[in-house]
Structures are given as structure tokens and as C-alpha cells.
Structure 1
Amino acid sequence: MRILLVEDEPKSGDYLRKGLTESGFTVDWVQTGPDGLHHAQTSDYNLIVLDVMLPAMSGWDVLQALRQTHDTPVLFLTARDEVEDRVKGLELGADDYLVKPFAFTELLARVRTLLRRGPTRESEIIVFADVQIDVIKRRVTRGEHRVDLTAKEFALLHLLAKRPGEVLSRSLIASQVWDMNFDSDTNVVDVAVRRLRAKLDDPHMQKLIHTVRGMGYVLEVRS
């Protein structure tokens, strides 16, 4: 198993490289964002351990560029335990994250869990009716027209499209898209659905996003 470690701090990088090597992995260690992106794009790795704060190019930018062409599993290392940072990493395509400081045993457990999932990942292209969703490029088209969505709108559509015909509750949507517990006094889900409909459904005769009163929302074709 080959792992690419992208970590600019010498002591941390050396410590992680030694620990992973002693655990049976082949490890390539680089210390800048551009070097990390180059290695990730030109060599085959089973996993990338990627620090967020890097010189010349941040981990966010490395991941965003990498996801244009590769779906190699990525474990993010971040020094800030902020919900926004975690959500940003996951929306960009990270598979897991670990907040510094951490015990090496925890990192090793996360690495092994990601590797056990294997190389099979969800389809890069989701097609529903006349809608096409490019998961890697974060691009949506309906018919011949591109639909420009915000990150949250894309995450909402992606969630609905992965489970077509299934009614998704507001609480489930809130937890999956916003990483928050649903508050009945908050209309964030309804507002997001309304904005998504305005872009995806309003210009077309056939509506795809439907409200199931008292239950939630569903993506389906109705006659």
C-alpha cells in the first residue's frame, strides 16, 4: 500500500513517515502543496494524507485541483476543529479529517479504515431524467444548459440524486448538508430547496423536486 504524505512541518512529517513505514506502508513524503499535487497526479497512491496549511498552495487548493482528475482517497489534517473547515474539506472531496494534535494510533486507525473501503467509490457522473451531475467537477447540466449552483445547493442536489424516489426528511437533509441538528424553528432547508428549484426546475415544464407534506422532499419524475 502506497501513501502520499503532504506535510510541511519537518518534525511532524518525519514522525508520521516513520510511523506509517513501520506499520507496513510505503510512504512518499513531500512538504509543499505543488509537490503534493504533482506526486498525486503522476503516481498511483492508495491514500493521500494531506495537511491543510501548506506553503505555496493550501491543502484546500491541492484537493480541489486533484479532484478534477483523480478520486484517490484523502485524509485531511487540520489544526482547527471548526465545523466550517470540516464541511469545506468534505465538500471539496475529502474522505475523512483529523484534527491536530492527534495520537498516531488514531491516525493509523483512520488510514486503515479508508484503505479497507477499497478503490471503489461512487460514480463520478449521476444522471437523472435530463439532469447530469458531474460529482468530481461539481458541475450540473439540465438538458443542454448548465446550472450554476452554490456549494450547499450542489450538496443538496447530490444528496437527493443519490437517493432518487426516496423521501428525505428535513432533519436528514440538515445533518447531511449542513452537519447540524434540525431545529423546527429554522427554515434553512426549505430556503435551500426553494433556491435549488428556482435554478433547476423553474425554467422547465417538468418538475423534479417535490414536496411530500409533513415528511420532506423527493427527487422523482411525475407524470
Structure 2
Amino acid sequence: MDKLMKQVLIADDNVNIRELLRYALTKEGYQVHEAQDGQEAVKLMGQAPIDLAIIDILMPGMDGFDLCEYIRNDYNIPIIMLTALDQLADKKRGYLRGTDDYVTKPFEPEELVFRVKALFRRYNRTSDNIIKLNRITIDRNNFEVSDGQSVFIMPMKEFELLSQLAQYPGRLFSRDELIRLVWGEDYEGDDHTVVVHIKRLRERFADYTSDFTIQTVRGIGYKIEVKTP
């Protein structure tokens, strides 16, 4: 989709912040929608095809954490959390709720625009059923992973784990979230199985680190970073 068609939601109770971001994003060709709180943002999500959300944490009513979780559960779009909070615990909470990026106030509008563009590049690498990690292609229709010349023979859980991470490059997933998404709500085993499967994936794709890497964020979880060709 062309940049001119991208629609960005800004949810922030500070009208000056919204105006600043609207000017910077509109200048780059994005269509901007504004919400002064979480409830208004939810309403706008149902009215317009939002492609990316920038949300403040400290809003009246539904705060940014709850809004982030709502969006992540119902929409496959990038999320940037914009906040004055700079504590590690707050960032961890934001990432666990599903945010893709975290920007602390005060900020330079130009930097935020760079982050918006970077997230769109990440999300545009994927489609619903075919995911590209440079040379590696994940075909979710046929449950195949290939490098263009040969197909990798993988256990189903490894395939599902790789697919889940690769579908949202740059997004951080906690162990608990991966257990729920890959092994299911009724899984009763140890979450250490995620560690084991991550290790196997890294070994399997050890020759493809120039294409993508599976990164560990200590104390939080895992994410895939796709290398720029």
C-alpha cells in the first residue's frame, strides 16, 4: 500500500501533542485521525481502516496499556506507545501488552516519523499466509519453510513458533504469550519449552543470520529482527 494511503491514529489527551504529530505526519503524506482518550480511539478504530496507532499511556478512562491490549487483540497493526514515563517497568508492561515501539516525551517529531516509517516497512514484509525473511519464505498455506532452493523439514511447533514471531517482525512476545498462541490455552507444561524451541530454531537457521535473527530480551521474551537487504 502506498504511503499516501496509510492512516494513522493518534490517541493522546494533550491537544498540543496531537497537533504536533498531525503536522509532522500529514507533511509526510499520512492521513491522521485524532482521539483524546481511549474510548474515542476504540470508536475511531471501528470507523476507519487504521494502519498504525500512536497512543499515550496516561489518558483518562481507558489508559494506553488497556488500549494497546485492545488493539493488539483485534487488529494486526503496528503500535507506538508515547509517554512521559521512562521507567523500565513501564516499558516492560507496554511491551507485554503488545506495543511495537516505545517513545518517551519529550521527543523530536522527525524521530517519531522515522519510527513510523520503520514499522510500516516491517509490517509490509508479511502477508496473511506468505511471510518473507529475506531469503527465507514461510508458507503458512502449505506449512513449509524454504530458502528458494530447499525446504526445511520442521516439527509443527517449531513451524508455528517461527511463523508467529515472523508475522510481526520487531514485536516482542513474552513466553506466556507464545505459550498461549502456539501451544494453546490448555497447555499444562513448563514454559521452558519456549526456550528449547527457540534454541532449536536458532540452530536450524544458523546460516541465515544475515537475513534475520531471533533476539532475546532478558526478563521479557523474544522477537525476530529482519536484516535490511
With the length of structure 1 as denominator, give the TM-score of the two structures. 0.61
What SS does the corresponding residue of 1:20 show, helix, strand or coil?
helix
| Equivalent in 146, 155, 178 of residue 219 of structure 2 | 178
Cα 1:29–1:128 shift into 2, 3 Å: farther
Task: Report what 1:97 is aligned to.
Answer: 102
Task: Report what 1:147 is aligned to.
Answer: 187
Whole-angstrom CA distance in 2 between matches of 1:81 and 1:11? 20
Whole-angstrom CA distance in 1 between matches of 2:200 and 2:219? 20
Contact preservation (8 Å) 2:202, 2:214: no
CA-CA distance at 1:111 after TM superposition: 1.1
Whole-angstrom CA distance in 2 between matches of 1:130 and 1:162? 11
Percent sequence identity over matched residues?
23
Task: Report what 2:9 is aligned to.
Answer: 4
Task: Report what 1:17 is aligned to.
Answer: 22
Cα 1:19–1:94 shift into 2, 3 Å: same
| Equivalent in 53, 59, 64 of residue 54 of structure 1 | 59
Task: Report what 2:115 is aligned to.
Answer: 110
Cα 1:121–1:61 shift into 2, 3 Å: farther
CA-CA distance at 1:23 after TM superposition: 2.2
Whole-angstrom CA distance in 1 between matches of 2:214 and 2:119? 24
Whole-angstrom CA distance in 1 between matches of 2:72 and 2:63? 14
Which of the two has greater helix per residue?
2
Cα 1:26–1:140 shift into 2, 3 Å: closer
In the alignment, residue 52 of structure 1 is paired with which amino acid? I
Cα 1:90–1:11 shift into 2, 3 Å: same
Q: Is residue 116 of structure 2 the alignment partner of residue 75 of structure 1?
A: no
Whole-angstrom CA distance in 2 between matches of 1:77 and 1:13? 11
In the alignment, residue 82 of structure 2 is paired with which amino acid? L
Whole-angstrom CA distance in 2 between matches of 1:86 and 1:123? 29
Which entry has the higher C-alpha Rg, 1 or 2? 1
Q: CA RMSD in A?
A: 4.0
Cα 1:19–1:166 shift into 2, 3 Å: closer
CA-CA distance at 1:76 after TM superposition: 0.8
Task: Report what 2:70 is aligned to.
Answer: 65
Task: Report what 1:87 is aligned to.
Answer: 92
Unpaired runs of 5+ in structure 1? 181-223
CA-CA distance at 1:164 after TM superposition: 3.6
CA-CA distance at 1:70 after TM superposition: 1.0
In the alignment, residue 54 of structure 2 is paired with which amino acid? V
Listed one character per residue, the Cα deviations across residues 38-76 of structure 1 (whole Å, up to 9, x for unaligned) are: 322443222111111111101110111222221210011
CA-CA distance at 1:9 after TM superposition: 0.6
Contact preservation (8 Å) 2:96, 2:220: no
What SS does the corresponding residue of 2:55 show, helix, strand or coil?
strand
> After superposition, where does 1:124-163 map in structure 2 within 5 Å?
138=177, 139=180, 146-147=186-187, 157=194, 161=197
Aligned length: 172
CA-CA distance at 1:21 after TM superposition: 1.1
Listed one character per residue, the Cα deviations across residues 59-116 of structure 1 (whole Å, up to 9, x for unaligned) are: 1101112222212100111211111111221222111110111111111111111122
In the alignment, residue 101 of structure 1 is paired with which amino acid? P
With the length of structure 2 as denominator, give the TM-score of the two structures. 0.60
